[in-house]
Amino acid sequence: MSNVTLAKAPRSIVGGLRNSLQQVLAFASLIGIVIFFSIMSPHFFTANNIVSVLTAATVTGILALGTTFVIITGGIDLSIGTGMILCGVMAGVFLTLWGWPLWAGVLGAILFGALIGFINGFTIAVLGIPPIIATLGMMLVASGLSLVISGTKPIYFNEQPDFQKIMNLSLIPGTRFPMGVAVFIVMIVIAAIVLSKTILGRYTFSIGSNEGATALSGVNVTKWKIVIYTMSGLFVGLAGVLAASRLSSAQPTGGMGLELEAIAAVVIGGTSLQGGKGSIVGTVIGALIMAVLTNGLRIISVPQEWQSVAVGCVILIAVYLDMLRRKSS
């Protein structure tokens, strides 16, 4: 019982109000950016371009959803970018080399993501390696294994023509609304429910607020940390499947840097790197802000050098404003 009260502490009335205020502000900045680009270019706010923004946000967004849990516990996961690439390669191995049926290969790749997450959870919670080091190690291991397993060549899904439909299939006839975006939306709902309505979500917050007190109140912190990293790994596996599906090939290179984009989305969304605070809605808004910025700056033809400068400044401003709000309240 005591752990339930403990977990509820940060979600008191004041905290709840502050949280929703923060989300309203983040949402307002998103709307502000959208209005800005809509005024700057007539080509920004069109159905086709909105779908393009959502498609671009899907993979990073799904990675960010899982990472939100990890960051709320006060941890971090740097292995999600290259881990995702490795899951895509494993999908290629299962489907193309081993000839598994589509559902089994996809499930296998997602579970492989969970395995990566489990190993992260184990090295962090059981061996006590700091999360940033443990997942940095995993980031390099995954990057290397992708190359080793694929023989440094991309794996093509030519024998599984349905594989590319997972991301690309147009759901609404006559439009270009891809299934991947629908999957993203479903995952948002699932993540929000898990974080706010389940015991897993409650423990995520309470481990992040005060790990020692959580352990003292009888929660098996080690076990739940492993569960949280493993669950984050499921998101990584799914993101890997979608990324490979989009290009109908598993590209063994790359992935590095994607983890930072996902972490930036989480942080812009108001989740504290110190742990204990955060929300799925915030992360989704953060991911959309990143995607809208990148797309909008391109639409109004800002030179690429300046695009990075602008995105970097937005991250700094967003996090600073968030700190000010926390201080004042």
Partner 1 sequence: MITKTRLAAIVGSLSIFVALAGCAGGDAATPGDDGEKPYVALVSKGFQHQFWQAVKSGAEKAAAEFDVEVTFEGPDTEADVDQQIQMLQTALDKSPDAIGFAALDSKAAGPLLQQAKDSNIPVIAFDSGVDSDIPVTTASTDNKAAAAEAAKQLADAIGHEGEVALVVHDQTSVTGVDRRDGFIEYMEKNEPDITIVDTQYGGGDQAKSADLAKAIIAANPDLAGIYGSNEGSAIGVVQAVKELGLKSTDIAIVGFDSGKAQTDAIRDGLMIGAITQNPVGIGYETVKAAVEAMEGKKLESTIDTGYFWYNKDNIDDAEIAAVLYD
DSSP H/E element including 188: helix 179-197
Minimum Å gap between C-beta 277 and partner 1 is 31
Q: Which is nearer to partner 1, 246 or 277 (CB)?
A: 246
Q: Which is nearer to partner 1, 220 or 308 (CB)?
A: 308
Minimum Å gap between C-beta 80 and partner 1 is 15
Identity of the amino acid at 205 = F
Minimum Å gap between C-beta 246 and partner 1 is 7
Question: CA-to-CA distance for 61 and 150, rounded, in angstroms?
Answer: 26
Minimum Å gap between C-beta 239 and partner 1 is 11
Question: CA-to-CA distance for 101 and 104, rounded, in angstroms?
Answer: 5
Q: Which is nearer to partner 1, 20 or 170 (CB)?
A: 170
Question: CA-to-CA distance for 198 and 126, rounded, in angstroms?
Answer: 24
Q: Which is nearer to partner 1, 137 or 254 (CB)?
A: 254
Residues lying near partner 1 in the complex (CB under 8 A) are found at 41, 43-44, 46, 48-49, 52, 55-56, 59, 143, 147, 152-154, 156, 168, 176, 178, 243, 246-249, 251-254, 256, 294-295, 298-301, 304-305
Q: What is the DSSP string of 166-181?
A: HHH-BSSTTS--BHHH
Q: What is the DSSP string of 5-42?
A: HHHHGGGSHHHHHHHHHHHHHHHHHHHHHHHHHHHH-T
DSSP H/E element including 288: helix 280-299
Distance of CA 146 to the CA centre of its chain: 20
Minimum Å gap between C-beta 31 and partner 1 is 20
Minimum Å gap between C-beta 304 and partner 1 is 5
Q: Which is nearer to partner 1, 95 or 195 (CB)?
A: 95
Return the closest-CA partner of residue 202 out of 63, 59, 72, 16. Answer: 72
Q: Which is nearer to partner 1, 170 or 198 (CB)?
A: 170
* Contact yes or no for 250/244 (Cβ under 8 A): yes
Rounded (5°) CA angle 166-171-176: 95
Q: Which is nearer to partner 1, 48 or 328 (CB)?
A: 48
Report the length, in residues, of the chain: 329
Minimum Å gap between C-beta 149 and partner 1 is 13
Taking the CA atoms of the chain, what radius of gyration do you get in angstroms?
20
Tokens of 73: 């516990």
Minimum Å gap between C-beta 251 and partner 1 is 7
Minimum Å gap between C-beta 156 and partner 1 is 6
Return the closest-CA partner of residue 81 out of 267, 240, 289. Answer: 240
Q: Which is nearer to partner 1, 111 or 247 (CB)?
A: 247
Alpha carbon distance, N-terminus to C-terminus of the chain = 29
* Contact yes or no for 293/314 (Cβ under 8 A): yes
Q: Which is nearer to partner 1, 222 or 248 (CB)?
A: 248
